[in-house]
Chain A
Amino acid sequence: MGSLEAPPSAENGSAHPAGMGKSPSTDGGGGGATLHPADTTPDPDSSKRRRSSVLPLEVGTRVLCRWRDGKYHPVKVIERRKVHANGDYEYYVHYTEFNRRLDEWVKLEQLDLDSVEAVVDEKVEEKGATGLKMTRHQKRKIDETHVEGHEELDAASLREHEEFTKVKNIATIELGRYEIETWYFSPFPPEYNDCLKLYFCEFCLNFMKRKEQLQRHMRKCDLKHPPGDEIYRSGTLSMFEVDGKKNKVYGQNLCYLAKLFLDHKTLYYDVDLFLFYILCECDDRGCHMVGYFSKEKHSEESYNLACILTLPPYQRKGYGKFLIAFSYELSKKEGKVGTPERPLSDLGLLSYRGYWTRVLLDILKKHKGNISIKELSDMTAIKAEDILTTLQSLELIQYRKGQHVICADPKVLDRHLKAAGRGGLEVDVSKLIWTPYKEQS
């Protein structure tokens, strides 16, 4: 039925990938709504007539949606809302092939109404699922739609998590030089419920709703770097340690910001008990945060890292691996073995696997004679379980003639090392000037 309208709108859409074209109908809907990335040039005349039979789409509908690459991908409607008085809806969709971070509000024009599945069987279930009880079918549904990054949550808490965070509240942020699309929901204070875009001061991380407010703030803001001690500097790269207790508001701001990019981060507890390690690129405008990791001051489970994030504009440049390596260097200075808090996100797990593989295989390549997992752990500050997992998943630990051996064929190791990717930026330990938290004060 709607077969004729889709191709033209697809062309229109691909011509404006950055969402610069404003739909008049969305003007005034809220301060930040005008820059919504999913905005496309509307095509009101051709579409309206044919929609009536299926519209508005129910929550739970499966349909194809045109994504930013110009192609159609299967999506599921998560939520819908009326855009304006004319009765048009926009839809919050989840691309079933991708991680939830790509969920977004889309205009009707992006949807291929021909592909709407005939039976919207999920409608009833969606309503039932808000309760605590879940059918086996629902569990399976969750399992199949969210494969990555959720392995360690049971189905019920996952359901609760998704119910609460299913729709992103903030769509974009401005942070320093970059305007960044957010990835996930973040529980900003209720005063910020009415806006889609936030303006962050890149130094003190205060967030505001209007650009003018940020500009006024920038005239008075006295910070040019994170409000903590610089503990590492190499070239233009600096690391700052910020105590959550001494800089509560900064720590909270950082958490609000980070939650926009971390699915399973929790902001449940106060920042007092954490230290934040902020990695910065420095120039004549100041020290610009590229990423951070947080760490409990006293971890009972020997966690040496709670949350880790490289901001999207700085991703795939080796900063994440630098942060991971840095966290282990701190553990070595403390004389402790550490492990990251779980669950790891898909990207986090990838980085950690890469780091573990590189560090362990480098040792195995050079090492002569026998070695125990414990010794490897002592050398690297990596927890024994993580070492075991890494080596086993690379099939390097084998059971031969009644005992375990480590298979370290140079060719095999090189193959794995290549797969693990570049090491990223090196941590120069001689430039780390730091005393573990307990020893200060």
Chain B
Amino acid sequence: MTRLSFRPRPLDIHKKLPIVKSIKDFEDDDTPTSTRNSLLLRIAPEVDNEVHPVPSRRLASEIPTPQFVVVDTYERDYSCTFSQPNSYLRARGARAEIGEFVEYDLDNEDEDWLFEFNEERKLMTPETFESLIFKLEVLDHKARERAGLITPTLGSPIPVLLRLDAAIEALQAQPIKYAIVQSAYDYWKEKRERRQKPILRRLQPPPPANDTNPFNVFRPREKAHRLHTRRMQRRENNVQSFEKLRQVRRNLDQAKSLLQALIKREEKKREVVDSEVTLQRMQMKYKHETEFLEDSLALPGFTEEEFLDSDDIMTDHPQTWSSAVQNLPSYDTNLLTTPTVFTKQESKRRYVPHGWPRKLDPLEPVMLFTKPLLPEKLAMAGILPPSDSSTVNGVSAQSYEFRGRIGRGGRIIFDRRNPLLQTSIDCAANLLLFKVPVVIPVFHEESFYLLHPETAITNTIIGRNEFLKPWLRYSDWRGSRDNSSTADAEMAEETWMME
């Protein structure tokens, strides 16, 4: 046989193989026929560990088998009483469950004993004897069941539990003489104790699984289904895994109630914030209304241009302003409605004098019985805020600022303010939510931005999402800040944001 010059590829069972209908297709092929065989021999050992079929087919006609003969008593022994119903036969319950069938058949020993027993006169028929032994076996089994002595496998000898008096009592209904039952019982007990296990095969426990004696058959299989992976084994259906799952459930329940409490708490917190904001807005609204009124009446010193300018703002966006105001109380449901308005206003505001528009800032702390003073106006009136004489260097000069207001009785008061705390030093009540510096990270175009403080403040109220538009590059902001007036600086200092 020639050696294969190539190694055949293993056959892929999913690959479609062409079916060649004629052997002639092979004849003109230059591949020598003998490779076929050697190829097969190579493949065969991998997949086929059975005997090659050719020798067995050769044997087929010759495999001799032992013989059989027809039993001549067959026709007598088996009666012709079976008629097949039209429908398919269905199984009945097991024999043990249906009444009176005597499962026991006498063996040689029983027959010999019965023969001797019956020698003088016929006392007991084989059928009665069979039935007696069967009943004794069943009664004994029940007695063991009651005593809880049923073993799953055949380990040690199984004792006889049925006592004679119990047997006789149970067999009272049978028309059998006491003496006969007693003899049968004695015989049965002797035989039963000799065997050390139930005589009836149905009642014998199987041999233990680790018994290797080949004569002991029909062991219980250790485990019907070996689970392959450890993960599956952990999920085995037993008490342990049941307890484990219960524990998991308890934990999850606890986590659930914790989370629910947390949600409740957060909702309450939000309500508090909401009502605070609403309160503040109402206060501001009140303040602005009175301020407008006062400004137009009590401060006629403004130039016409300024007035027009400011009026311009108002007339340019009347509806937006009012809509913004209207929206304020319900901002939490309408967070996204108003940002562009403020943006436009913002960009415009950079070119107008700072005094007026600042009055529009809804975030200016509200002091119910006082009115803030504008430094510009005070300057016009010749009043200057006190310079900070307590500090030495210029840097710290900025650390204290003063805010003027008109106190009760028309006095002008300057509150010293701490720029870090953003509060009037003597006015802790003015510490309001949005005066606290808020740092919100903003990612945009991978560059570093700072929000214009005022915009940031405005938008903090409106909603975080609205940071994207109204900002300035940090450098722009820095530039504007450097050149800005004190008021501008004060605004910048209010709240600033960095990435």
Contact = CB atoms under 8 A, between A and B. Distances in A.
B156 interface: no
A165 to B, nearest CB: 8
B13 interface: yes
B65 A267 contact: no
Contact of B88 (A152, A233, A385, A408): A233
Given A371-B17, A372-B14, A405-B18, A392 B48 contact: yes
Contact of A179 (B12, B20, B68): B68
A208 B40 contact: no
B101 A268 contact: no
Interface in B210-237: 214-215, 217-221, 224-226
Contact of B15 (A151, A372, A393, A398): A372
Interface in B106-142: 106-108, 111, 126-127, 130
B215 A179 contact: no
Contacts of B127: 216, 220
A353 B65 contact: no
B69 A178 contact: yes
Contacts of A282: 82, 84
Interface stretch (A3-11, A58-66, A119-127, A409-417): A409-417
Contacts of B219: 268-270
Nearest to B43: A392
Contact of A216 (B13, B80, B90, B105): B105
B51 interface: yes
A224 B15 CA distance: 51
B78 A218 contact: yes
Nearest to A177: B74
Interface string B22-57: 110010010100011101100110011111111011
B135 to A, nearest CB: 15
B11 A284 contact: no
B202 interface: yes
B224 A213 contact: no
Given A248-B202, A346-B56, A374 B40 contact: no
Q: Looking at chain A's contact residues, is the secondary structure mostly helix, strand, loop, or mixed? A: mixed
A440 B40 CA distance: 45
Nearest to B98: A222
Of the four ranges (under 10, 10 to 19, 20 to 34, 35 or more), the interface on chain A belongs to 35 or more
A246 B66 contact: no
A110 to B, nearest CB: 16
Contact of A392 (B47, B66, B74, B201): B47
A310 to B, nearest CB: 11
B94 interface: yes
B83 interface: yes
Contact of B50 (A151, A269, A374): A151
A224 B102 CA distance: 16
B387 interface: no
| Chain B facing A: main interface SS | loop
Nearest to B16: A370
A338 to B, nearest CB: 16
Contacts of A411: 23
A156 interface: no
Contact of B221 (A177, A214, A270, A393): A270
Contact of B77 (A214, A370, A398): A214
Nearest to B21: A408
A75 interface: no
A372 B21 CA distance: 16
Nearest to A191: B107
Interface in A199-231: 202, 204, 206, 208-218, 220, 222, 224-225, 227-231
Contacts of A187: 214-215, 217
Contacts of A283: 82
A404 B102 CA distance: 64
A247 B96 CA distance: 10
A344 interface: yes
B425 to A, nearest CB: 83
A227 B90 CA distance: 8
Interface string B4-16: 0000110111111
Interface string A170-193: 000010111111110001011100
A315 to B, nearest CB: 7
B91 A228 contact: yes
A216 B106 contact: yes
Contact of B92 (A227, A300, A433): A227
B90 to A, nearest CB: 6
Contacts of A176: 71, 74, 78
Given A213-B111, A419-B57, A399 B39 contact: yes
Nearest to A35: B69
Contact of A312 (B8, B68, B108): B68
A383 to B, nearest CB: 10
Contact of A247 (B29, B65, B70, B94): B94
A370 B17 contact: yes
Given A218-B77, A284-B82, A397-B17, 8 more contacts: A208-B105, A252-B217, A349-B53, A349-B56, A350-B63, A388-B11, A395-B36, A400-B31
15 contacts: A147-B51, A152-B49, A179-B68, A202-B78, A209-B108, A229-B90, A242-B91, A273-B224, A350-B53, A364-B19, A371-B16, A393-B52, A398-B26, A405-B17, A407-B26
